[in-house]
Amino acid sequence: GDHPAAAPVLRSEADERAITAAAAMLREGGTVAFPTETVYGLGADARNTSAVEAVFAAKGRPSDNPLIVHIAQRADLDDLVTEVHPVGAALIDAFWPGPLTLVLPVRPGVLSPLVTAGLDTVGVRMPDHPLALALLSAAGCPVAAPSANRSGRPSPTLAAHVMEDLAGYIGGVLDGGAAGVGLESTVVQVQPDGTVAVLRPGGITAEQLAAVAGAGAVDTAPAAAVDFAAGAAGPSTALVDADAGTGSASGQPAGAAQAAGNSSPAPRAPGMKYTHYAPRGWLGVVRGVSPQRVAGTAADLLQAAQRNGEVTGLLLFEEHRALYPAVPAACVVSLGSLDSPEEGARSLYAALRRFDEAGATYILAEACPEAGLGAAIMNRLMKAAGGSVIDAG
Interface with ligand TXA (CB under 6 A): 36, 38-39, 41, 65-68, 99, 101, 103, 116, 119, 121-123, 127, 145-147, 184-185, 187, 199-200, 239-242
3-state secondary structure of 378: helix
Phi, psi dihedrals of residue 333, rounded to the nearest 5°: -125, 130
Half-sphere exposure of 330 (CA within 13 A, CB side): 7
Nearer to ligand TXA, 69 or 259 (CB): 69
Q: Which does 122 bind (CB under 5 to 8 A by kind): ligand TXA, Mg ion, none?
A: ligand TXA
Nearer to ligand TXA, 106 or 351 (CB): 106
Other CB atoms closer than 10 Å to residue 332's CB: what's the count?
Answer: 15
Nearer to Mg ion, 98 or 146 (CB): 146
CB 23 within 8 A of CB 84: no
Half-sphere exposure of 106 (CA within 13 A, CB side): 24
Of the chain, the end-to-end C-alpha distance in Å amounts to: 49
Q: Which does 68 bind (CB under 5 to 8 A by kind): ligand TXA, Mg ion, none?
A: ligand TXA
Q: Which does 137 bind (CB under 5 to 8 A by kind): ligand TXA, Mg ion, none?
A: none
Nearer to Mg ion, 47 or 153 (CB): 153
Min dist CB 289 to ligand TXA, Å, is: 33
Nearer to Mg ion, 244 or 335 (CB): 244
Min dist CB 147 to Mg ion, Å, is: 3
Nearer to ligand TXA, 106 or 389 (CB): 106
For β-strands 121-125 and 196-200, DSSP reports them as unpaired
Min dist CB 178 to Mg ion, Å, is: 18
Q: Which does 199 bind (CB under 5 to 8 A by kind): Mg ion, ligand TXA, none?
A: ligand TXA
- Tell me the C-alpha distance between 4 and 55, whole Å: 16
Other CB atoms closer than 10 Å to residue 365's CB: what's the count?
Answer: 31
Reading phi first (left if > 0) and then psi (alpha if -120 to 50, else beta), residue 168 is in left
- Tell me the C-alpha distance between 26 and 52, whole Å: 10
Min dist CB 120 to ligand TXA, Å, is: 8
For β-strands 218-219 and 196-200, DSSP reports them as parallel
Min dist CB 38 to Mg ion, Å, is: 10
- Give me the residues that bind Mg ion (CB under 5 A), please: 147
Q: Which does 179 bind (CB under 5 to 8 A by kind): ligand TXA, Mg ion, none?
A: none
